[in-house]
Structure 1
Amino acid sequence: MDSSAGQLKNVYEGDLKEFRDWDFLIINRYPPGGSVYRWSLDLLEILNGKSELINLKFPAKGWEITHIGKDFSPRFSSPFLNHLFLNFSFRQAVTYIERLRNERNKLVLHYTNQFSGTLRVKGIKEIVNVQDSPNYTETGSPALKLYMRQLYNSLRNKEWVVTNTEVLKHELIDFGFTGNIRAIHLPYSPVFKKIDVTKKNLRKELGLPQDKKIIISVSSDLPRKNLSTIREVMKKLGDFYILVRVGTQLGNSITFNGIDDTTLNKLYNASDVLLFPSFYEGFGLPIIESFASGLPVVTSDIPTIREVAGDAAILVDPKNVDGIAEGIKEAVEEREKLISRGLERAVEFSITKFRERILKLYSDVTKGS
């Protein structure tokens, strides 16, 4: 979808009719493969031709992967300079957006992650997704903490803000955000579902052992993902259990990288338990994907995950190796009960419910013009 200025599609039907005079630009800063890019595509699909994806290509691995949208590269290789001089660094993007504003008149910019910052463009509506707590940093670096505080201070007075959870919404209010904050849970892709194929056949197809309990871990290798504890838990569980990693290699794990959602869904269906013991999460999408796939979940007893998982997962202290190991054994024993609860919980995160909530948000934003 690499549109030229002024060539945004004018497709509106059904519940999109109220947006006939509006166009939406989805502003994405992350390469394909991650949850933010996927979420950006969900918004494109919901708007059914009334939107265009703008990729601000902050330096990162993954942009070489085939993707859609209109790409704009920054002037600097330094992330700090790109943020400090955002409008200068992405001047071509600003010029493009201004041209669309002049031609279309009514324009909404929806930034899908706070770390893009916001471009200074007059005469448009803005929505900013904030997906992480202002109180959390990946490291204790003073420079990073200062940057985070400045970033969140720059967003405090934005008129429209979207968060993934009610927990984060209240954290932003406590931080001093003054605008309209809407908590909208992320959806899972309809690709994730129970497959009418035996676990034995799936494991054969994927090259997985038939005689082990498979614990699957789906995450990056950021410190908050707590991979060192996963390694210790697997040692504690013994040889009857084996780890499948979607991400970086961990110990003797069977590892998959660069897979599509269809393959990931097969892995969920072939596994016995998802282990997701993060110290911090803005949401935790693999939890919901596992629920929809009929996979029991063992995850961290922390505020955001309590909101997302409800009573459908086994919640554990992410620092307690023994407690996590016992939680996994309980998940194996209580498999059918957890599958039933997970499938029921997944309904709350369907693309249908997400669409309803996003269109209500867009309606409120555009009516305030």
Structure 2
Amino acid sequence: MVTYITLDSTITGVGKYAYDIYNLMKPDSSIIQIIFNRKYIDNNYRNPVLGTKYPVLNYFLSGIVYRDIIRKVNSMEGIVHITSQTIKPVFSARNLVVTVHDIMASQENIKADSIEESLKKIYMNRYLKAYMNYENIITVSNKVKSEILETFNVDGNRIAVIPPHVPEYFYHLDNKVKLREKLGLPLDKILILSVSSAQPRKNLGMVKKVVERLGNGYALVRIGPAVGNSITYNNVDQATINEIYNACDLLYFPTLMEGFGYPVVEAFKTGLPVVSSDIDIIREVSSGAAMLVDPENLQENIRAIKRIMEDKDSLIEKGYNVSRKYSAHNVREKLVNYYNGIMDYSQ
């Protein structure tokens, strides 16, 4: 049995990873959501472990506030998988695993834009350093593993690269016209899909500039915070997310930095061509199936979006092929082999 530990709701990238991997490994899995901040309460979790209503108290007094659940987890005989390096390292169960999605908290070129974010970065870096002492570390990409090895004194044999899977609710649907009518999307425009948080590294300023310069023949569809005059969706269910992907014409993802880049492979599986950033992680994840650009070159981004509609058929086919690497079967097999290397996790 493997028990997953998460803090986040499923609307965040790391929260989605936790919930997806838990479902992937059923029936030999369980999941515990610990609420440090009540904005992350999620209806997918029936019995979250609540702290006080003050996040600061929950973080600084974790050993007291969460004493009972810490004792329970630490007494578990099976595998305990901490699903993100952003979780405070308060557990000492026998068979601990941690997933490190990125090491941005330790990178000097990632600037915090507020005092709160600066403090958060300090603590996230402390957590990250603590997790580097774990015997069992999973990263989601070779790029993150190489960054860990460059930054920390860690034995590479303790780090396994196991990417996330693309859940089964992402798949191709026919008839964009019907989907657009159902969703209330314009029928006479090229729809550019943008999926992300509003973090500075998501480069939403570039998204806004590009769409404004493309003109009236294009419209921006956002899953996440609004950008300019975008058609914006938040808190939608899985089926609707899949319909939104399928109703659009391309994914535009000009990120400056990622640990993985979920939207790229989700777009591949739904049959969307992708314009994204020519950076190491996107090159790794897309494997030649996306049109890559300098994410800070406005004219290059505009040209790519115009051109991709001409080359979309070959890119869509390549994307489908790449998405198979991230299938539930392939990723589950890797996880089972990994867990069994630690212990017989089915016990």
Q: Give the TM-score normalised by structure 2.
A: 0.91
For 1:29, the equivalent position in structure 2 comes to 7
2:93 aligned with 1:119, yes or no?
Answer: no
1 CA distance for matches of 2:213 and 2:166?
32
User: What stretches of structure 1 move > 3 A for 4+ residues in a row?
Assistant: 81-86, 140-146
1:131 aligns with 2:109: no
Q: Which residue of 2 aligns with 1:78?
A: 55
In the alignment, the residues of structure 1 paired with residue 273 and residue 96 of structure 2 have an alpha-carbon distance, to the nearest angstrom, of 39
Q: Given the superposition, is the C-alpha separation of residues 76 and 175 from structure 1 closer, same or farther in structure 2, using an over 3 Å criterion? A: farther
Q: Which has the larger radius of gyration?
A: 1
Q: Deviation digits for residues 149-187 of structure 1, max 9, x if unmatched?
A: 322221121101111100101111122252510111111
Partner residue of 2:312 out of 327, 335, 338: 335
Report the 3-state secondary structure (helix = DSSP H, G, I; strand = E; otherwise coil) of the residue aligned with 1:55. strand
- SS of structure 1 residue aligned to 2:86: helix
Between the aligned partners of 2:61 and 2:161, the Cα distance in structure 1 is: 30
Quote the residue 2:133 is aligned against: 157
Shift of 1:361: 1.0
Distance in 2 separating the partners of 1:131 and 1:159:
17
Output the CA distance in 1 between the equivalents of 2:313 and 2:12: 30
| Post-superposition offset of 1:305 | 1.1
Question: Structure 1 residue 184 and structure 2 residue 162: aligned?
Answer: yes
Instruction: Kindly tell me the number of residue pairs found equivalent between the two proteins.
Output: 337
Cα 1:246–1:348 shift into 2, 3 Å? same
Residue 88 of structure 1 aligns to a residue whose secondary structure is: helix
The partner residue of 2:326 within 340, 343, 349 is 349
The answer to whether the 8 Å contact 1:132/1:282 transfers is yes
Q: Which residue of 1 aligns with 2:123?
A: 147
The correspondence of residues 266-281 of structure 1 with structure 2, limited to 5 A, is: 266-281=243-258
1:175-232 CA-to-partner distances (Å, cap 9, x unmatched) read: 225251011111111111111x311121111111111111011111111111111110
For structure 2, which runs of at least 5 residues remain unmatched after alignment? Answer: none
- Aligned CA distance change for structure 1 residues 145 and 256 (closer, same or farther; 3 Å): closer
Conservation of the 8 A alpha-carbon contact between 2:203 and 2:256:
yes
Mean Cα deviation higher: 351-360 or 171-180: 171-180
1:201-280 to 2 correspondences below 5 Å:
201-280=178-257
Alpha-carbon distance in structure 1 between the residues aligned to 2:92 and 2:163: 28
1:48 aligns to 2:26 (yes or no): yes
Deviations 1:62-90 (A, max 9, x none): 41x412264212347234x5444433332
Task: Measure how far apart 1:324 and its partner are.
Answer: 0.6
The 1-side partners of 2:63 and 2:133 are apart by 19
Q: Given the two structures, how large is their TM-score scaled by the length of structure 1?
A: 0.85
The equivalent residue for 1:12 is none
Q: Percent identity?
A: 31
Q: Which residue of 2 aligns with 1:109?
A: 80
Task: Please say if residues 53 and 69 of structure 1, whose CA atoms lie closer than 8 Å, have aligned partners that are also in contact.
Answer: no
1:39 is matched with 17
Counterpart contact for 2:210–2:302, Cα < 8 Å: yes
Q: Could you tell me which residue of structure 2 aligns to residue 289 of structure 1?
A: 266
Gaps of 5+ in 1: 1-22
